[in-house]
Structure 1
Amino acid sequence: MRVSVLLQITDDEGVARAAEPVAVFEKATERPEDVGLSISEGKTLMTAVQRRIVGSQVASWTARHRNCQACGARQRSKGNYPLIFRTLYGDVPLAGLRLHRCPCQGDHGPATTSPLGEFFPEHIAPERLYLETRWSSLVPYAAAAGLMADILPIASGANATTLRDHTLRVAARAEAELGEERPCFIDGCPAEWAKLPIPEGRIVVGLDGGYVRNWEEKKTNFELIVGRSIPEDRAPRYVGMVHGYDCKPKRRLFEMLKSQGLQANQDVTFLTDGGEEVRALTELVTPIAEHVLDWFHITMRITVLGQFAKGVGQRNEAIGARLASELDRIKWKLWHGNGHGARELINDFETDLADLDVDYPNLRKFITLAREFGVYITSNLASLINYGERYRSGERISSAFVEATVNAVVSKRFAKKQQMQWTRRGAHLLLQTRTRTLDGTLRSTFERWHPGMANDNGGHADHAAVA
């Protein structure tokens, strides 16, 4: 079987050109793999069609912009220059026309101009840039490049370095749109807030940190802060930044909440591990907000102390049982939001440990951890709530969901187990595209930059027809 594919293009005036062959295939029908187009044949077909379509569109654009915009006179040509336009369906070689400066401009402006260079200065189709950014946000750059080369007719640019540069460039553009940092984002007065419509419901924001290997200082790590915002009845959003590198952390957090319809009269709960840096990040972001020390991190520390108490119990069962009982009382006080009562019990617990006379090799470490736990609770007394009451009301009291967020945002892409190395800039910018990819807002960002991309989302009949 011989298959010939013909392409016919109708120009803007409605004049149809003669159909021309773009691909010819000799197809056998002997085995299952013979049926339909192969990957190679599909690439060949799409490359041929794309080159003719792009060539016709560029010729039309150049013809419409050949005249001077000021006086309308036809500008003289200074020849052509080679240009490669990178699309999803192949790299299209083009001849960019150079035009002399119009005499009406005098000596103002450049001596020559290029209409085509002004049309797409980046020399890459927005959809290809979107796909490169999306895939690079989900898998390593090399894997994304290999995937694109496997299924798309891309002759060049499908390598890890190119995809990394393109992805970081997209992130840098999004970063440039971020407003200025402010110490406080609370505007207006309570009287004005009371007049606002009733908000949709509480927004719960969990924030936590993760660490990746530093490329510049090989033996050190640096911290990433990631979070997830979960409104009661809207889609969740992700946020990510490199601690100490990001100069607009509060602005970033505020814009995430704003994208979810945040109002000044809306309840917002920030759940964190109680770290000073993360706690400071949540301050003065919105008026009706509370910072809560999440129950997950409290119980994690008590569980560790309980393991040491069991170790003591192996040497002296009575002492070990007494220590475990004291830890249960501390946990009960904290569960019911009695921070001061829990602090007194922790002080007594520390004193008991210091007075212990038991042959336990890890006693010194046990004492140190108990002291650190006391400092931890004291530093976060204002963030303790009645966890039992909240839990019975069906509200979130733990940022355990953020642990899953750390794994989704950091571990699965930044490959903690493989000890991949990152620069602070590279990690921070990749976080911006990865969070947008995970919460589904990357496409809308590109559609805002390139409104024409929105036309392809629904497969509208007025843009495409399939026979």
Structure 2
Amino acid sequence: MKVRIQMVIEAENGEPEKVEEILRLERGTLRTEDLGLTLAEAKKLLRGMQQTLLTEQVAEYLATLQECPDCGAHRTRKGQHYIVYRTLFGKFNLISPRLYDCPCQHHGRHSSSPLADMLSTHCAPELQYLETKFASLMSYGLSVQMLTEVLPIAEEINPTSIRRRLHQVAERIESELGEEQPQFIEGCPNDWARQPPPGPPIILGLDGGYVHASEQRSRTEGWFEVITGKSVQAEGNAKVFAFVNKYDTKPRRRLHEVLKSQSLQMNQQVVFLSDGGDTVRDLQHRLSPESEHLLDWFHITMRLTVMQQMIVGMTVELKPDEKCPEIAAVLADLESHRESLKWNLWHGNVPHALKRIDNLEDDLEMLEENPANKKKMLKVVREFRTYIDANQAFIPNYGDRYRHDEIISTSFVESTVNYVVSKRFVKKQQMRWTQRGAHLLLQTRVQVLNDDLRKTFIRWFPGMSTGEQATLKDAA
């Protein structure tokens, strides 16, 4: 069996149809591997169709520019050159003539290259979209391997070009972000009262992760911080965001846009949960008049668990028995005060909790023995007191909130840090990152994770929605 695949091009001006042969196939005895098109044949077919279609589209476009739109005079050609245009189905050299402006335009002897001006990026939006999407989810090298495996663009893309185009997309996204402001509360209380009844509270959790820095001048500069957050609505809709703390100049604007995308009203409650650090605490202020700021219970229990482990370690090391009742009593008091401290914090009783911390410190100083964990635990206890004292205004009655099914922990943000930052930047990744490179990649990555990247490209290139609608129609 012999097969010839042709393209038939119908001109709108009445010219005869053009028939271009794209591919010839031969099939003999039926074998499983010869049934239908092979991947190599499909790549060749797509490349041939793309070449023919591009050539005809460019020729038709340039034909419309040969005459002046105002007076109809023929425009003379200064010369021509080739421009490279990368698509999903290959890289092509397109003829780009340079045309003189018509004398009626009164521009003098000025010339321009209309095709080069229109194709300024030299890359098809669909290709840039796919490169950005996959490079946001996996390494640049793996993205190249995956795209060249399924598309006829082998040896025409490389990790450096993908990274460059991803940065271009991220910079365009960043350029659309509004200016930073000290506060984003709009209107006055009278205006808020006239707004429609608000929806359920929006829960927003913030946490930080760390990325290996490329410019490591000292051991302490080996990593830089990435702030990650997740905003969850009652119906389950969630948005994630991330930025490099020391690089981003618009963190509050970024957070405001996330809340705005979830239809935040000024009379709607927003519950912010964080670990109490100054960076994330300052970020939350003056974003909503109905905001509530809570210290995350998860980070409290982490510190209390560390204390418990240290007490267990001292018990194992000292091995108190009937001959040393004083040591056994002190260790028992340490655990009792720690349990009481946890109970008071769970019920929001900060003054009593601070007293229990003081009791812990006193008991440790009274311990005459000097186990290995004693100095470490003293340091942990003192740091914990400073931590609770600085955040006491943000410690609610966790028990009451828990009984009313209200959120008390940023555990949902811990998983967000894992899949937004760690999986792409840290785990099994040997790369070191500049702050700029990490920040730009984070912006495209959160767009992909929020299912917003395609919508962004359609907003930039409305024609992409036409192909998407046609695909959905054919599938139906």
TM range (shorter): over 0.9
Q: Which of 352, 364, 374 is 2:375 aligned to?
A: 364
Match of 1:299 in 2: 301
Tell me how far apart the structure 2 counterparts of residues 103 and 381 of structure 1 sit (CA, whole Å): 77
2:310 aligns to what SS in structure 1? helix
The amino acid across from 2:37 in the alignment is L
Match of 1:262 in 2: 264
2:376 aligns to what SS in structure 1? helix
2:422 aligns to what SS in structure 1? helix
2:470 aligns to what SS in structure 1? coil
The answer on 1:377 being equivalent to 2:377 is no
The answer on 1:176 being equivalent to 2:175 is yes
Match of 1:338 in 2: 349
Of the structure 1 ranges 267-276 and 22-31, higher mean CA displacement relative to structure 2 is found in 22-31
Match of 2:325 in 1: none
**What is the deviation of 1:70?**
5.3
**What is the deviation of 1:74?**
2.9
Correspondences of 1:138-157 after superposition (within 5 Å): 138-157=137-156
Match of 1:394 in 2: 405
Structure 2 vs 1, CA of residues 12 and 344 (structure 1 numbering), >3 Å: closer, same or farther? farther
Tell me how far apart the structure 2 counterparts of residues 289 and 15 of structure 1 sit (CA, whole Å): 67
Tell me how far apart the structure 2 counterparts of residues 234 and 348 of structure 1 sit (CA, whole Å): 44
Determine if contact 1:146/1:159 at 8 Å carries over to the other structure: no
Tell me how far apart the structure 1 counterparts of residues 146 and 32 of structure 2 sit (CA, whole Å): 24
Tell me how far apart the structure 1 counterparts of residues 350 and 73 of structure 2 sit (CA, whole Å): 80
1:422 aligns to what SS in structure 2? coil
Structure 2 vs 1, CA of residues 437 and 161 (structure 1 numbering), >3 Å: closer, same or farther? same
Correspondences of 1:176-215 after superposition (within 5 Å): 176-215=175-214
Structure 2 vs 1, CA of residues 71 and 305 (structure 1 numbering), >3 Å: closer, same or farther? farther
Unaligned runs of 5+ in 2: 321-327
Determine if contact 1:271/1:398 at 8 Å carries over to the other structure: yes
Structure 2 vs 1, CA of residues 43 and 327 (structure 1 numbering), >3 Å: closer, same or farther? same
Determine if contact 1:91/1:155 at 8 Å carries over to the other structure: no
Determine if contact 1:313/1:319 at 8 Å carries over to the other structure: no
Structure 2 vs 1, CA of residues 49 and 418 (structure 1 numbering), >3 Å: closer, same or farther? closer
TM-score scaled by length of structure 1: 0.95
Match of 1:125 in 2: 124
The amino acid across from 2:307 in the alignment is L
Correspondences of 1:38-57 after superposition (within 5 Å): 38-57=38-57
**What is the deviation of 1:243?**
0.7
**What is the deviation of 1:385?**
0.9
The amino acid across from 2:315 in the alignment is G
Determine if contact 1:212/1:420 at 8 Å carries over to the other structure: no
**What is the deviation of 1:252?**
0.3
1:19 aligns to what SS in structure 2? strand
Match of 2:161 in 1: 162
Match of 2:323 in 1: none
1:360 aligns to what SS in structure 2? coil
Correspondences of 1:64-75 after superposition (within 5 Å): 64-69=64-69, 71-75=71-75
The amino acid across from 1:48 in the alignment is G
The amino acid across from 2:269 in the alignment is D
The answer on 1:7 being equivalent to 2:7 is yes
The amino acid across from 1:252 in the alignment is R
Determine if contact 1:269/1:289 at 8 Å carries over to the other structure: yes
The amino acid across from 2:61 in the alignment is W
Tell me how far apart the structure 2 counterparts of residues 190 and 216 of structure 1 sit (CA, whole Å): 49
Correspondences of 1:100-119 after superposition (within 5 Å): 100-107=100-107, 111-119=110-118
**What is the deviation of 1:460?**
5.7
Match of 1:89 in 2: 89
Deviating beyond 6 angstroms after TM superposition, the runs of 4 or more aligned structure 1 residues are none
The amino acid across from 1:143 in the alignment is L
Determine if contact 1:75/1:100 at 8 Å carries over to the other structure: yes
Determine if contact 1:50/1:89 at 8 Å carries over to the other structure: yes
Tell me how far apart the structure 1 counterparts of residues 16 and 366 of structure 2 sit (CA, whole Å): 96
Q: Which of 232, 235, 238 is 1:233 aligned to?
A: 235
**What is the deviation of 1:379?**
1.1
Tell me how far apart the structure 2 counterparts of residues 97 and 303 of structure 1 sit (CA, whole Å): 72
Determine if contact 1:212/1:414 at 8 Å carries over to the other structure: yes
The answer on 1:349 being equivalent to 2:349 is no
The answer on 1:242 being equivalent to 2:244 is yes
Structure 2 vs 1, CA of residues 435 and 461 (structure 1 numbering), >3 Å: closer, same or farther? closer
The amino acid across from 1:204 in the alignment is I
**What is the deviation of 1:215?**
0.6
The answer on 1:413 being equivalent to 2:415 is no
Determine if contact 2:420/2:445 at 8 Å carries over to the other structure: yes
**What is the deviation of 1:233?**
1.9
Tell me how far apart the structure 2 counterparts of residues 391 and 154 of structure 1 sit (CA, whole Å): 55
Tell me how far apart the structure 2 counterparts of residues 11 and 299 of structure 1 sit (CA, whole Å): 73
Match of 2:324 in 1: none
**What is the deviation of 1:418?**
3.6
Correspondences of 1:13-24 after superposition (within 5 Å): 13=13, 17-24=17-24
**What is the deviation of 1:156?**
4.7
The amino acid across from 2:405 in the alignment is G
Tell me how far apart the structure 2 counterparts of residues 299 and 351 of structure 1 sit (CA, whole Å): 21
Identity of aligned residues (%): 45
1:459 aligns to what SS in structure 2? helix
Q: Which of 221, 224, 228 is 1:222 aligned to?
A: 224
Determine if contact 1:212/1:416 at 8 Å carries over to the other structure: no
For the aligned residue pairs, the C-alpha RMSD in angstroms reads 1.9
Alpha-carbon displacement from aligned partner over 1:127-160 (angstroms, at most 9, x marks no partner): 1100000000000001101111111011454210
Determine if contact 2:330/2:363 at 8 Å carries over to the other structure: no
**What is the deviation of 1:31?**
3.0
Tell me how far apart the structure 2 counterparts of residues 232 and 209 of structure 1 sit (CA, whole Å): 24
**What is the deviation of 1:461?**
8.0
Aligned residues: 464
Determine if contact 2:90/2:156 at 8 Å carries over to the other structure: no
TM-score scaled by length of structure 2: 0.93
Correspondences of 1:299-338 after superposition (within 5 Å): 299-314=301-316, 315=318, 316=320, 317-338=328-349
Alpha-carbon displacement from aligned partner over 1:298-353 (angstroms, at most 9, x marks no partner): 10110000101112223234332221111111111111111222112212222222
